[in-house]
Amino acid sequence: MSLTERWQKEPGPRVAGSRALDQSKVQAPGVVRLPDGGYRLFYTAVGPGKPYPACQGYVLSAVSEDGVTFEKEPGIRFAPRPDVRHVSLRVLAPSVTPTDDGGWRMYVEARGPASVPTVICSAISSDMLTWELEAGVRLESPGGVGAPRYLRLPDGRGRLYCFDKAPEGAETEGEAAEPIGVVSAVTANGLDFEMEPGVRVHECQEEMDSGGITAAEVIPPTAAGAPWTMFYSAWQDVAPGTDVPVHPSANVNAETDGASEDFAAASIAVDMAGFRSRIFVSESPDGLAWGPGRCVIEGGGYDADGLDAVHAEDMSLTRLDDGRYRMYYAACDRHGNWRVASAISSAE
């Protein structure tokens, strides 16, 4: 079954804000199939129950037996650390993988002050409930990296796909720096990564990804001769002349003046300023060189109904027993409500 075939959206949200920890904004899911059956869905959230005033987001979790109906687990799985500068404000987009010693490792995009580029950090756990931040940074770049998705390779190494951004204000011979997009790095131990040359998928190649790529997840071949498949989400920029508010994560005073108290409301105002996001698919013979993408999940726009009318992004996939895949993704409706939605692959 080709993963580039049609996807059927499933009714209702898988996770929606309902408590002090997540009622303001829910996004960026990462699913794990549990060893004894069932699923755990990690997701990024923020709400009035955040652990300190300047906090902009953390990772929560919910569990399910069937992958459709989820029960939220109490507490925060992984929160930012005010005492660690590069991860002092927000952690998001969790990607969880088993470790060789029987534990688990979570990779996250980590944000500190606006003056510090986003980086990818990691945490470890023995039970997927209590997580400990690992020292150092797994991956970084001058413009900032994020939305990690970890993939185990057949040779025992791991590959991390993520977005990479050009530094703000970077110019080449008087011209703005070229956008980057999805890049990758490999590791033998899960901690030390080496960037692979080149760009996997360039962003801003057409109108629908003119706002940049936000996340990418790769499914390796399931049969001899089959292609690698990448799902990635991209934003469409606003129309020229649109007045877009400054995103609160760009506030250089957020550490000291409490400006992130209304972080969720301010970030949603930016989300709803005319941007759109959609999910695309691309194929590759080797996991490194990728063909053109095509849209597989999108909503109807600002005048339409549906969980994902305006935004569909930051997907995470799991393979089902019948060979199909379920995709969990962050969805935003025309009223600015963010939830986790899902779709099932179905060939015609």
pLDDT digits (tens, 9 = 90+) for 17-54: 999 999 999 999 999 999 999 999 999 999 999 999 99
Q: Which CATH superfamily is domain 7-345 in?
A: Glycosyl hydrolase domain; family 43 (2.115.10.20)
Q: What six digits make up the tokens of 15?
A: 């996770």
- Cα of 293 vs its chain's centroid, Å: 18
Residues of the chain with pLDDT under 50: 1, 176, 257-260, 348
Q: Are 262 and 247 in contact (CB under 8 A)?
A: no
pLDDT for res 248: 84
pLDDT for res 206: 87
pLDDT for res 166: 86
Strand partners, 120: 109, 139
Q: How far apart are CA 15 and CA 25, in angstroms?
A: 11
Q: How far apart are CA 55 and CA 337, in angstroms?
A: 20
Taking CA atoms, 37 is separated from 32, 33, 64, 67, 219, in Å, by 10, 7, 9, 10, 21
* Pairing mode, strands 201-202 and 294-297: unpaired
Burial 144-181 (b: 16+ CB within 10 A, else e): bbbbbbbbeeeeeebbbbbbbbbeeeeeeeeeeeebbb
290 Cβ partners below 8 Å, 6+ apart? 200, 201, 230, 282, 283, 284
Strand partners, 9: 343
pLDDT for res 257: 46
Strand partners, 59: 44, 78
pLDDT digits (tens, 9 = 90+) for 234-276: 999 999 989 988 888 876 665 554 444 588 899 999 999 999 9
